[in-house]
Amino acid sequence: MEKTINITLKVWRQASPKAKGAFETYKLDGISTESSFLEMLDVLNEKLVSEKKEPVVFDHDCREGICGMCSLYVNGHPHGPDEDVTTCQLHMRKFKNGETITVEPWRSAAFPVIKDLMVNRNAFDQIIQAGGYVSVNTGGIPDANAIPIPKPKADEAMDAASCIGCGACVAACKNGSAMLFVSAKVSQLALLPQGKIEAARRAKAMVAKMDELGFGNCTNTRACEAECPKNVSISNIARLNREFITAKLKD
């Protein structure tokens, strides 16, 4: 038999980027514990539409834990109280009957609210555009294993590349730092031969863009690592610092 719960939602509502926002309270009964958090919000919006009220705006796409667009701050945690999942993979069985659930957008000066729970994360795109790519001609596709890359390095690069750019690290950080995101994007290229040619320019350009966009500094609280849905390690931040200092010394 399917289990259901009754919940109270405190949802941040904000009509536009410059409008003053506030929490609004909604009660939902008979929510299946097998439904996802976003499915629960769908139920809320269907209720609001039936009452001829404005539905809650929130970001989502794949709903498979891949794209990272479901950027919600739930009960004081980016992506909610469950570990190693995005909001779309958070299920209502993690909540108790009668519980009050507080839902907010990412809180960061670099991620301005568009409406309600949706924020503008274009700042991450700008950081990638500043240097998170390989632009040199690396030749045609080589035969498998033709480029000798040690497996530990390849594994580290793949771990760094698992970052989905959701912004949970920024939302979790008391300083609003983007260091975990930037370091992951630098590491995935710095560890591979193809990325070494532009390593110095990349590190300097991406850090400069991060600072320009208003992200805070890293003070090693490790909140970013604890809340990252893909378990990206802060060891990447140490690598980014080494890459940046090496580039500056070369100058």
Domain extents in the chain:
4-114, 121-250
Q: Are strands 100-104 and 4-13 parallel, antiparallel or unpaired?
A: parallel
Instruction: Sort 1 into a burial class: Cβ within 10 Å, 0-12 / 13-18 / 19+.
Output: exposed
pLDDT of residue 1: 63
CA 221 to chain centre: 17
Whether the domain at 4-114 and the domain at 121-250 fall into the same CATH topology: no
Q: How far apart, in Å, are the Cα atoms of 9 and each of 25, 150, 202?
A: 6, 50, 43
Q: Which amino acid is residue 135, in one-letter code?
A: S
Residues 176, 210: contact at Cβ < 8 Å? no
How far apart CA 91 and CA 95 sit, in angstroms, is 8
pTM of the entire structure? 0.93
Residue range 3-59, pLDDT digits in tens = 999 999 999 999 999 999 999 999 999 999 999 999 999 999 999 999 999 999 999
The CATH code that applies to domain 121-250 is 1.10.1060.10
Task: Name the CATH architecture for the domain at 4-114.
Answer: Roll (3.10)
Q: Are strands 22-32 and 118-119 parallel, antiparallel or unpaired?
A: unpaired
Residue 128 has pLDDT above 80, yes or no: yes
Tracing tokens 């959701």 back to the chain, one arrives at 166
56-60, 127-131, 139-143: segment of lowest average pLDDT:
139-143
